[in-house]
């Protein structure tokens, strides 16, 4: 697993996502989901490129149903953007990197700005 990606669970969702000081991209996914596997390399690239500005968390919805249901995740992959403990934007489906970056950029923490 990528060192820049946190494995999310129901147990650590509050500390890793809701209490994060930087924006968080949560990849709600499941191992059996084909589109989830398609978007995974994009999520990894973003985690590497935006290290320090954005936290990336992968949450397996099969194993962590409580967190997924709390945010009404009905389709996967859902890529949720959290800021200050709130879900501020989300994208459903395997989308191109450029599209996902457009959704993320308004929330990025400007490091050394």
In contact, 89 and 103? CB cutoff 8 Å: yes
Of 21 and 109, which is predicted with more confidence?
A: 21
Write down the catalytic residue from 24, 25, 36, 47: 36
What's the pLDDT tens digit per position in 28-72? 999 999 999 999 999 999 999 999 999 999 999 999 999 999 999
Single out the residue of 77, 81, 86, 76 nearest to residue 103, CA to CA. 81
Write down the catalytic residue from 33, 47, 50, 54: 33
Two tokens, residue 74? 């009905």
In contact, 82 and 26? CB cutoff 8 Å: yes
In contact, 16 and 55? CB cutoff 8 Å: yes
- Which domains does the chain show, CATH number per domain? 5-93 (3.40.30.10)
Q: What is the mean pLDDT of the chain?
A: 93
Let me know if 36 is a catalytic residue.
yes
Two tokens, residue 84? 């200050």
In contact, 93 and 47? CB cutoff 8 Å: no
In this predicted structure, the answer to whether residue 111 has a pLDDT above a threshold of 60 is: no
């Amino acid at each position: 697993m990528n060192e820049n990606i946190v494995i999310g669970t129901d147990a650590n969702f509050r500390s890793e996502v809701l209490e994060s000081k930087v924006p968080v991209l949560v990849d709600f996914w499941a191992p059996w989901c084909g589109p989830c596997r398609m978007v995974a390399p994009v999520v990894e690239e973003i985690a590497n490129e935006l290290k320090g500005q954005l936290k990336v968390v992968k949450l397996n919805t099969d194993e962590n149903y409580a967190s997924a249901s709390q945010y009404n995740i009905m389709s996967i992959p859902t890529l949720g953007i959290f800021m200050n403990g709130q879900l501020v934007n989300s994208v459903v489906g395997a989308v191109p990197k450029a599209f996902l970056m457009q959704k993320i950029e308004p929330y990025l923490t400007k490091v050394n700005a």
